[in-house]
Amino acid sequence: MILTRILLILLSGLTHSFCLAADDLSTTIADATRSTSMMIANTVETSSSSSERTYSRDLSALQEALSIAGFARDIPEEFADPNHGELSFMMNSRQAPWAGNYFPMAKGGLANRWQTRETVDIEKLPNAQAVKNLTQEQINRLSPIEKYDLYRGDYTFMATRHELTKRGPLRAWPVADWEGFCNGVRCAGIHLPEPKHAISVESRDGILVTFQPADLKALAGASYFFVEKYSQMGSPSQQEARAQNQPNAAVFDMTLRYYVAEKKAAFIIDSHLGSEIWNETVIGYNRTLSQEEPLSNEEKQSFPLAVSKKTVRLDLYSLADISIRESNQSTKDGVAAGNYHKTTKAEYTLYLDAQNKAFDGVWKKTKSLRGIDFVWFSGGRGTDSKNPKGNGNEQLSFKTVERLVRMSHRPLSCQKILSL
């Protein structure tokens, strides 16, 4: 009757990690089982049905997400009632993540010279002598990862070569147009301050390198291609399947009301119901909640603990990609104003027990490929450089990128030339 232990279902079986990959984002969620003390769980009666097991799984994932974000794991009991919490919410400019571009790998990824719309030619990378002959204007127009190599004094361009041959257009398997760093950019937008100003930094050899905000957002996104802490609800649809293992609708609804509106914390959805993964950050929503409705005979059999149901019609507001040039500035005011978000329409049914607690939920099927396929949460530092087996770039130091990002975030009057 009382749920005292939750099995946290870990995602497994994916092989890639680009604008897509969830399994490669983290390896530090938890062990397979975990004892928990939950205010919500103690109010919900459970049976062994598959649907109710997803409720337990996803509730545990939400608690893990709260812990990752620095909040108490316990969820107040009243949030099991779908009437409790905000019907509508939008993050303000202080709470909202910043916006960036996913730097598509087919166009070079971090090796995209976006100011001149060129992809780096690996055969024409300059050597140490040629670097010294570059004009300041030529240096300023290099790709983000070339600038990073110059700043570090690496004239073999190891980080650049990695991006081209391991993740970019020269890798061993084909690159789809939609593959990029959207997962990492979403994480960086949540966890790092926004790069706002161009900064000029000096390498150990005295070469002056100017990073634009868009350069730093790209490097930050790549640094978070893998992430230290991670939790997940549902899992990505595979091959030709659609909406294969969506998050439990009741826990998702609670996540909006408690994690987003109450705690003012952002999380990430895969907004493509098929096998592609489109990572977008949830920044707000509008819920329309029906009156209590009677159950059909079929629903009575499927949900024996339910005494009624409610329908939720949802407009979910999420931050996707903006153009590189749009991202080359401060964006958080625009995010909060709704200038960059996309709207996902969804509908689901919540099943209520005798105490008006939603203990389960079912998504309404849709013909659209746009929806909520799975949900994930992140925290901690970016760990891309620590995951070479997953195509992470060992040369891309999170500490170095973070330092540059924080320098770019400060007012111009506070900046000074920074030597490595």
Task: Say yes or no to pLDDT of 154 above 60.
Answer: yes
The predicted model gives 268-278 an average pLDDT of 95
Q: What is the predicted pLDDT for the residue at 105?
A: 96
Strands (E), 223-366: 227-233, 267-272, 279-289, 308-319, 341-352, 358-363
**Cβ within 8 Å of residue 224, ≥6 positions away:** 183, 184, 185, 187, 188, 191, 378, 382, 384
Tokens of 5: 């232990």
- What residues does 280 pair with on adjacent strands? 269
Q: Are 66 and 241 in contact (CB under 8 A)?
A: no
Percent of the chain having pLDDT more than 70? 85
Q: What is the predicted pLDDT for the residue at 389?
A: 87
Q: What is the predicted pLDDT for the residue at 412?
A: 66
With residue 382 as reference, give the H or E element that holds it. Answer: strand 370-382
Query: Burial, 43: exposed, middle or buried (Cβ in 10 Å; 0-12, 13-18, 19+)?
Result: middle
Give the span between the Cα atoms of 111 and 169, in whole angstroms. Answer: 10
Give the span between the Cα atoms of 318 and 346, in whole angstroms. Answer: 13
The predicted model gives 222-248 an average pLDDT of 96
Give the span between the Cα atoms of 16 and 23, in whole angstroms. Answer: 8
Query: Burial, 123: exposed, middle or buried (Cβ in 10 Å; 0-12, 13-18, 19+)?
Result: exposed
Percent of the chain having pLDDT more than 90? 82
Task: Say yes or no to pLDDT of 30 above 50.
Answer: no
Q: What is the predicted pLDDT for the residue at 3?
A: 30
Q: What is the predicted pLDDT for the residue at 49?
A: 57
DSSP string, 175-202: --TT-SSHHHHHHHHHHSPPP-S-EEEE
* pTM of the predicted model as reported, rounded to 2 decimal places: 0.87
Residue with token string 């919540």: 350
The 8-class DSSP code of residue 85 comes to S
Give the span between the Cα atoms of 36 and 31, in whole angstroms. Answer: 13
Amino acid of residue 244? Q
User: In this predicted model, what pLDDT tens digit does every residue of 360-376 receive, in sequence order?
Assistant: 999 999 999 999 999 99
Q: What is the predicted pLDDT for the residue at 411?
A: 75
With residue 27 as reference, give the H or E element that holds it. Answer: none
Q: Sheet with 208-211: list strands edge to edge.
A: 208-211, 199-202, 418-419
Residue with token string 């509730």: 59
Task: Say yes or no to pLDDT of 81 above 90.
Answer: yes
Confidence of residue 419 (pLDDT cuts 50, 70, 90): low
Average pLDDT of the chain? 88
